[in-house]
Amino acid sequence: MADLSVDTLFDAAVRIQLLERSITVSFAPDQSIRIKFPITRRLAEFMGMPHYIVLRSCAMMENEDLVTKAERVGIITTKKGSRKMMELMRDSYRQETEEILGAVLFTELLRKT
């Protein structure tokens, strides 16, 4: 079985967050935002994929500087990954994201990325 594409993983992560109505955002010292990715087992279950494939694909995303592992937090986006995730929310899931975050907060997060 091949690795999942970065776009597929980011799309699944956003859809899980919207489905669960939970988007966890933190602010880095450099004023950028970080977004918590769903746990890898949840991603695998959601996509109907073996867990090891999601793990391997997440390692690929880490090598591409899109995500990083944070101790006791899990996988979070980097500055580059946050931009990718927010653009996906804006371009494909704007209405659903605004329903959760509100238009003002969503616009501000887009501005910060």
The three-class DSSP label of residue 34 is strand
67 DSSP 8-state letter: E
Per-residue pLDDT of 61-98, as tens digits, reads 999 999 999 888 899 999 999 999 999 999 999 999 99
* Domain regions of the chain by residue span: 6-112
Cβ–Cβ contacts within 10 Å for residue 93, how many?
Answer: 17
pLDDT of residue 33: 93
Query: How much is the average pLDDT of 22-35?
Result: 90
CATH number for 6-112: choose from 3.30.470.20, 3.20.20.10, 3.40.50.720, 1.10.10.10.
Answer: 1.10.10.10
